[in-house]
Amino acid sequence: MTATLTNQPAAATGQHQWVYLFHEGNAGMRNLLGGKGAGLAEMSNAGLPVPPGFTITTEACNSYYDNHKQFPPAMWEQAMAALKTVEQETGKKLGNAANPLLVSVRSGSRVSMPGMMDTVLNLGLNAETLHGLIKQTSNERFGYDAYRRFIQMFAKIVLGIEASKFEQILEAKKHAMNAKADTDLNSADLQDVVTQYKALVKQETGKDFPEDPLQQLRLAIEAVFESWHNKRAVDYRKFNSIPDTYGTAVSVVSMVFGNMGDDSGTGVAFTRDPNTGEKALYAEYLTNAQGEDVVAGIRTPKKIAELQRQMPEVYQQFADIAQKLELHYRDAQDLEFTVERGKLYMLQTRSAKRTGVAAVKIAVDMANEGLITQEEALQRVEPTQVYQLLLPRLDPKEVAKAHQNGQFLTKGLNASPGAASGLAVFDADSAAERGANGEKVILVRPETNPDDVHGMIGAQGVLTARGGATSHAAVVARGMGKPCVAGAEDIKVDPEQRRFTVNGVTVKDGEQITIDGTTGEVFKGKIAVIDAQFDEQSELGQLLRWADQTRKLGVWANADYPRDAERAVKFGAEGIGLCRTEHMFFEEERLPIVRQMIMSAAPATALDNKLTRSQVELDKADENKQATAQQRRDDVQAEMTASAEHKLYYDALNKLQEFQRGDFYGILKAMHGKPVVIRLLDPPLHEFLPSYDELLVEQTELRVRGKHGKRLEEVDRLLKVVEGLKEQNPMLGLRGCRLDILYPAIYEMQVRAMMQAAAQLKREGVDVRPEIMIPLVGTAKELQIVREQLIPIVEQTLKDEATKVSYKFGTMIEIPRAALVAGEIAEYAEFFSFGTNDLTQMTFGYSRDDAEGKFLLQYVERGVLPVNPFQTLDRAGVGQLVKMAVEAGRAARPGLKVGICGEHGGDPDSIEFCNAVGLDYVSCSPFRVPIARLAAAQAVLAAVERDK
């Protein structure tokens, strides 16, 4: 079968060009021709052995979808013209019974998506051309082998028939003939397989297998376009943030055959090891096979040494080409090749996918070799690849086995990367106790709250049924460098029975589980992990030193404990941008003292205020009223002295001050010579108390059982306090600076402890740079009040310590109003730190845990939002508030230091924005410091590129 074709170029007719012959393209046309098409064009133009062919553009794919799945006008005609040129170059014709041309129809987006879209090989075969192919090759077995492969692949990809049905036929034939491999079947066997395959197609579709090669080609091109939106491609794009608008190109390539005997074969190669980055040819090869056999894992390939042994000259030619391509592209290449009867053909070159380890090593090695610049090396490594190097991860081989043998349980949110195995435990106390005894445990909770922090410290990782990627569990786990899978809603956690169930499987207390915080997967049993190490002298250390020379943004860390600070310094942090003091309050030995403070805070503060008022009255009293005023003050003083609540309040504060002094001493010492921003107490007080509902249940049970002792009195008192502190929306209620304005002694205790610790270190010769951050400021007056209250405490403490310490007062900008009046607030602040977690929450009007658990992920999937705004900063809304506040703040106070300390401080896209608006630093969890160092350098380089 032949067709009447014209080879008049599109440009000559004034049509839009949808189709390019290989010699018409080049590597710079990747966006239009896809990676595969651009690579084939570049190799063809370089004179390398590439089979003739042409590429249909990504624009054609997008037009296909825009035009209700119809080819764009003139595309098919241009493809036919290009096909005629290919026929002339090969001396063969598609559909010609005597001298048939066979082609492959291959997908290829501008971004490598290996295996995500579809390819059809051996297209053009039918009953007539089969005999021509056999006559051409004098190899009947090869002809039928090519035909059965084509029917199976075409039927699966184009006709939608399950591949397993064809595999069953092939396996049955192998079993009947006592054949171990496909290659053991002879031509008669394969002819029978072809007959059965055709019968299966007729049975499944009600139609005969398509015989017209042009119809086959048209259907195959449509199928490749359709594969752009298959599930695996869509999932892959979502995971890798690849836009749906890119589309796929379609390359139509004249077939060369690796399955024509022992002098033929096919292989896949990388010019450097994609796992380690080692500078060595990394390749696999199969004799008497087609490319699909290698990439689909149908047969187990051999190392490239097999080709070197069988055909040394071909091997050397291939090795030379591989080296030339790497030098030409100045990057490690992923190559596909076929040997047909001793002749080498190159079928693909593209930038090689690689692990984080390999990405860093290849970039640094190539820079050291002079192949690329240091700036290019920085741009070659994805920040997330750096993170991979620093976290334990599961062995991929063991994960694959776990999926096969039924160990996989469920998948939740990949809230904090890394992997861990341990015994499932269902309460924080057990996790802390068993962890302290050397057992490896995973803390499993319906959700975590701050009371669980000691359990999280003792656990290897955290699994929760509820909560999002910015939930407490996720934020704290990231800060600790521990893996966390959150929001695994299929899991039903029963803390009372100490077990969870999921998909019919029950996991009890003490049973082994494994979590992968990088993927969100949960497994039963233990899966081996690969440990990560950070060495400043490694390739990663070298890359990050280059990044430090390039970036403008400082990179600080969020750290609540000295161990976190030490880790942050190891990873290159230049300061602590957020030390959350409330996490210190939640530690087990302190929590009773904190509760004692809270229980007595209201009556004690009322007495303090009463004394203050009486002192003011005394100070203002004239001579006639002096005695009366003095008596009132004395009476209040006596009332205060007699008050048990007042004594309990200040006893608790004094004890906490000792703890806090030790806390601040440790973290300031760890950051010797570097600034430490310490946020004063932020959360609502009720978070430190037992749950209202739990107390109510306990109170009821005690009364029903007639137990009217001390415990009931304590519960009654606790319940009264909790009820008094209860709020409809506590995150917008009495917390942060508002708490200080009502209960000033708490912040006073904290700054006193801070300055005592700083003074002691100063005397010991340690360079300390404390910066005091006042949270949740919404008005300049709030900051003014708190600052003026605390400065005398700081100065008096330093006077008592007979030491001078340099310090700063600043605030966290986390309320939209604060961003709008930043100029006023800057009058009382020496620094701003943007708390973008809360700023995002308040700007969008989302409760982040509820949003992520209920609708936010669907918003992203449906395109309502481009990304999760709690993971990547919303530039259009939240970002504008940040930009506005920076400009207004610096206008009011030139030299105002400005940073960001929310989760966005470790997100590369958000870091680019921070660089653009002129922030001084970003602050993130210690394990994300290396990512931020690289991302900050890349932001500078990207800005330079834009300005060119």
Residue 46's Cβ-count burial label (10 Å; 0-12, 13-18, 19+) is middle
In this structure, the strands spanning 521-524 and 554-558 are unpaired
737 given a catalytic annotation: no
Let me know: does 812 contact 833? Beta carbons within 8 Å: yes
Q: How far apart are CA 104 and CA 836, in angstroms?
A: 51
User: Choosing from 901, 904, 914, 924, which is the catalytic residue?
Assistant: 901
Residue type, 181: A
Residue 23 DSSP label: G
Nearest to 78 by CA among 226, 228, 250, 246: 250
Q: How many CB atoms lie within 10 A of CB 766?
A: 16
Q: How many CB atoms sit inside 10 A of residue 707's CB? A: 11
- Which of 454, 472, 646, 686 is catalytic? The answer is 472
Residue of 730, 743, 749, 740 whose CA lies nearest to 684: 730
Task: Provide the angle, in degrees to the nearest 10, between the axes of the packed helices 58-66 and 30-45.
Answer: 150
β-pairing verdict for 921-924 and 897-900? parallel
Contact 294, 286 (CB under 8 A): yes
What does the H/E/C string look like for 420-431? EEEEEECCHHHH
Look at the alpha carbons of 143, 148, 151, 153 in this order and tell me if their dihedral is positive or negative: negative
Residue with tokens 């481009």: 866
Judge whether 571 and 929 are in contact, CB under 8 Å.
Answer: yes
Cα–Cα distance measured from residue 680 to residue 669, given in angstroms and rounded to the nearest whole number: 19
Pairing type for strands 461-464 and 441-445 reads parallel
Which of helix, strand or coil describes residue 751? helix
- Helix, strand or coil, per DSSP, at residue 157: helix
State the helix-helix crossing angle for 163-176 and 187-205, rounded to 10 degrees: 150
Separation between Cα atoms, residue 784 and residue 782, nearest integer Å: 5
Phi-psi region of 364 (alpha: psi -120 to 50; beta: other; left: phi over 0): alpha
What span, in angstroms and rounded, lies between the C-alpha atoms of 836 and 848?
12
Number of Cβ atoms within 10 Å of the Cβ of 541? 15
**Residue in 886, 872, 869 with CA at minimum distance from that of residue 819:** 886
User: Exposed (0-12), middle (13-18) or buried (19+): which is 178, by Cβ within 10 Å?
Assistant: exposed
DSSP 3-state of 555 = strand
Please state the φ and ψ torsions of residue 48, each to the nearest 5 degrees. -80, 160
761 touches 669 (CB < 8 A): yes
HSE-CB at 933 with a 13 A cutoff on CA atoms is 28
Range 771-787 burial, b when 16+ CB lie within 10 A, else e: bbbbbbbbebebbbbbb
| CA–CA separation, 845 and 860 (whole Å) | 17
Main-chain phi, psi angles of 348, to 5 degrees: -165, 140
Q: Which residue's entry shows tokens 């409760």?
A: 847
- Active-site annotation holds for 901: yes
Query: What positions carry a catalytic annotation?
Result: 472, 901
